[in-house]
């Protein structure tokens, strides 16, 4: 899979960014499938330490996207293994392989503590504040959140509610997000994910 279109979205600010990723429900489903492919626990998990500055920087940059995913996957009070796989796949993809199982475990603990401390409304506000400066980051975070909700083939009403709450805070039209939540009648694998890269 060509992941350049994703990694471009999470690098530090660059000039003349497009604000439209050209996403639709087929692309969201293909994103879900690719992240699931990259998500299983490693046979030999790597380590994660904040003393490793490149990994720590990648962790901090990706955390708002991961938290958007986490808030959706935890909305129904049950984090499924497929949802963990999608989160691991996202961390591996967005960090170009720097972050994996150990970083995912550390991030889940961190995010669980923040949610327990602050509550979902405060955490949604925090995610939105981090993502607000870049419209493309907002779209990507929501796409990842929807991909997470679709991980097990069904979307719980609580997950759907969390997605729309986040979309509202990010200024993304509800109609666009509703389209992403639909199930595609076409095989998402028929779509070349590299086509998304040409739009960034």
For the chain of 200 residues, list the mean pLDDT of each consecutive stretch of 10: 46 40 56 58 61 84 91 88 82 78 85 95 96 89 88 87 96 89 54 32
Q: Count CB atoms within 10 A of the CB of residue 173.
A: 10
Rounded to two decimals, the pTM is 0.72
What is the predicted pLDDT for the residue at 89?
Answer: 81
Q: How far apart (Å, rounded) are the C-alpha atoms in residues 155 and 93?
A: 23
Angle at 24 between CA 166 and CA 6, to 5 degrees: 75
Q: Residue 152 corresponds to which tokens in the numbers above?
A: 């097990």
Is the torsion defined by CA of 61, 62, 63, 68 positive or negative?
positive
Q: Residue 181 corresponds to which tokens in the numbers above?
A: 């939540």
Q: How many domains does the chain have?
A: 1
Which domain does 170 fall in, by range?
A: 4-11+18-197
Containing H/E element for 49? none
What is the predicted pLDDT for the residue at 102?
Answer: 82
Give the phi and the psi of residue 80 in degrees, each rounded to 5: -85, 160
What is the predicted pLDDT for the residue at 167?
Answer: 96
């Amino acid at each position: 899979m060509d992941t350049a279109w994703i990694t471009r979205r999470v690098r530090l600010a660059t000039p003349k960014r497009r604000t439209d990723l050209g996403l639709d429900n087929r692309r969201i489903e293909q994103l879900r499938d690719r992240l699931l492919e990259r998500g299983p626990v490693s046979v030999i998990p790597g380590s994660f330490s904040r003393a490793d500055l490149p990994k720590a920087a990648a962790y901090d940059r990706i955390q708002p996207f991961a938290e958007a995913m986490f808030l959706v996957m935890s909305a129904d009070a049950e984090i499924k293994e497929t949802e963990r796989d999608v989160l691991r796949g996202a961390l591996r993809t967005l960090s170009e392989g720097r972050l994996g199982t150990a970083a995912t475990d550390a991030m889940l603990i961190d995010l669980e503590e923040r949610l327990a401390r602050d509550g979902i409304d405060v955490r949604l506000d925090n995610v939105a504040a981090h993502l607000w400066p870049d419209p493309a980051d907002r779209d990507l975070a929501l796409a990842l959140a929807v991909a997470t909700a679709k991980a097990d083939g069904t979307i719980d009403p609580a997950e759907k509610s969390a997605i729309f709450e986040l979309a509202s805070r990010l200024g993304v039209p509800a109609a666009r997000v509703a389209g992403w939540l639909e199930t595609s009648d076409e095989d998402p694998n028929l779509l070349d994910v590299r086509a998304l890269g040409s739009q960034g």
